[in-house]
Structure 1
Amino acid sequence: MPDFSAPMTGGQTFQLAGRPAKSTVLFFYPKDNTPGCTTENMAFRDLHPQFLAAGAEIYGISRDSLRSHENFKEKLGLPFELISDSDEALCALFDVIKQKKMYGKDVRGIERSTFVIDANGRLVKEWRGVKVANHVDEVLEFVARQG
């Protein structure tokens, strides 16, 4: 996995290289403040202590602005940072932009996807076309086994 950096909430910059965690969980979601994305972020929030106990850090990624992310994070009380990919560089790196149907129209957007990167910067697991229900439990189960 090539190293990359991107702006994230809390006035910080995410840098893949040198992450101290055993596992880094990156979950791409379409848009802040939409029903499925809110549910998914809340599921990661609610299991955050278990992810930390398993040595995993969690980061949400969408094309929303940092300002939108800060408001979304505060509204939901998220204990993890959100990465802004407004230029779609990370979306391209992980190949998550897809043509989708929304209200009968073709739109270009993020396919809900989750990736686990180990401490050596290797991509060790990916889920694409994710359905929100039970997904976060599955990710937690995977990172817990990595420990």
Structure 2
Amino acid sequence: MPLTLNKKAPAFSAAATGDQTLSLKDFKGKNLIIYFYPKDNTPGCTQEGQDFRDNYTKFKRAKTLVLGVSRDSVRVHTNFRAKHEFPFDLLSDPDETLCKLFDVIHLKKNYGKEYMGIVRSTFLIDSKGILREQWTNVRVKGHVEEVLATAKQYKPE
């Protein structure tokens, strides 16, 4: 079911890097970017993570935190995060609970083969837990800069 802008974001809780479980309520009072990507250690996903990493200080100045989500295990995420020095946590969603909550699992085609997969998507949740912006079918180039510019418009109260 598609999400509705300017309504409460779906509550979630998931295993994350740093041997922790993170929930939406952990970010109350701060803006949150949650981005969904298909797979660790693939070119587009690596570039997207690096773009968020390279702009992380700017996101922090905008009082906005970042989380990445894929179906990879926490162990794989931990290695991916360390290898690329991501300053933000990655959530593991092997059973696609978060992916379904945020409606990012869709039929995809690759070399004529059809399968259900994560559609690269980003969501901006404000400091009160309201979904303010969403980007779907994201193209990596220039995406993080667009998200940052939008995040700066939402000042936590």
TM-score for both structures, normalised by structure 2: 0.90
Per-residue CA distance 1:26-55 (angstroms, 9 max, x = gap): 000000000100000000000000000000
- Give the aligned partner of residue 87 of structure 1: 95
Structure 1 residue 2: Cα displacement: 3.1
The residue identity in structure 1 corresponding to 2:12 is: F
Structure 1 residue 84: Cα displacement: 0.2
In structure 2, distance between residues paired with 1:22 and 1:82 = 17
Match of 1:43 among 46, 51, 56: 51
The residue identity in structure 2 corresponding to 1:87 is: D
Match of 1:101 among 104, 109, 123: 109
Residues 21, 137 of structure 1: alpha-carbon distance in 2 compared, 3 angstrom cutoff = farther
Residues 21, 71 of structure 1: alpha-carbon distance in 2 compared, 3 angstrom cutoff = farther
Task: Provide the secondary structure at the position in 1 that maps to 2:117.
Answer: strand
Counterpart contact for 2:17–2:89, Cα < 8 Å: yes
- Give the aligned partner of residue 20 of structure 2: 12
Counterpart contact for 1:21–1:55, Cα < 8 Å: no
Counterpart contact for 2:109–2:115, Cα < 8 Å: yes
Residues 18, 68 of structure 1: alpha-carbon distance in 2 compared, 3 angstrom cutoff = closer
Instruction: Say whether 1:29 aligns with 2:33.
Output: no
Structure 1 residue 21: Cα displacement: 4.6
Q: 4+ runs of 1 displaced by more than 6 Å?
A: none
Identity score, percent: 50
- Give the aligned partner of residue 4 of structure 2: none
In structure 2, distance between residues paired with 1:97 and 1:79 = 26
Long gaps (5+) in structure 2: 1-8
Counterpart contact for 1:118–1:124, Cα < 8 Å: yes
- Give the aligned partner of residue 5 of structure 2: none
Question: Across the two proteins, how many residue pairs are aligned to each other?
Answer: 147
Match of 1:132 among 140, 143, 149: 140
Counterpart contact for 2:28–2:129, Cα < 8 Å: no
In structure 2, distance between residues paired with 1:46 and 1:132 = 14
In structure 2, distance between residues paired with 1:46 and 1:27 = 15
Per-residue CA distance 1:83-124 (angstroms, 9 max, x = gap): 001110000000000111112211211000000111111111
Task: Provide the secondary structure at the position in 2 that maps to 1:146.
Answer: coil
Counterpart contact for 1:114–1:128, Cα < 8 Å: yes
Structure 1 residue 20: Cα displacement: 4.3
